[in-house]
Structure 1
């Protein structure tokens, strides 16, 4: 998906970004928000596990984070989160 040219122009006009940098920033933001719920859960679980968090706190934290995303994910139970992680 190509970034909206008006948004790129706005960023160039209101920041010190070049057109190429502004385009990359918009592409990065779009890619970040395009991540599927499953991919997000897997990525966050692995990240939190790396830093020693235990599953009960991980699943509670991920559920809270999902509820606050720009386009909120559906409410998932701990069991649903476990199924995403462990199949």
Structure 2
């Protein structure tokens, strides 16, 4: 199961950290073992490390996000255009 790092910006870091949306939505995309990170020099830059059962399914879901995923990102104040994904090699 590949491990990935997802980085992106948020507009409200404290809200993002306390939000239940990641744990509600990401497991349905095959993600598990989620861990959150915050850039200490720029708290609007955050990241997630997670294990993903099916990378192709995750990338497809992000390319064409469901209404639920879009709403979850909005709720978490994620700026999707800033998202970058790194895959463990």
Structure scoring higher RCO (CA < 8 A, sep ≥ 6) equals 2
Common fold: TM-score over 0.5: no
Give me the TM-score of the superposition, normalised by structure 2.
0.27
Choose 1 or 2 for highest CA Rg: 1
Greater fraction of residues in strand = 2
* Structure (1/2) with the larger helix percentage: 1
TM-score, scaled relative to structure 1: 0.28
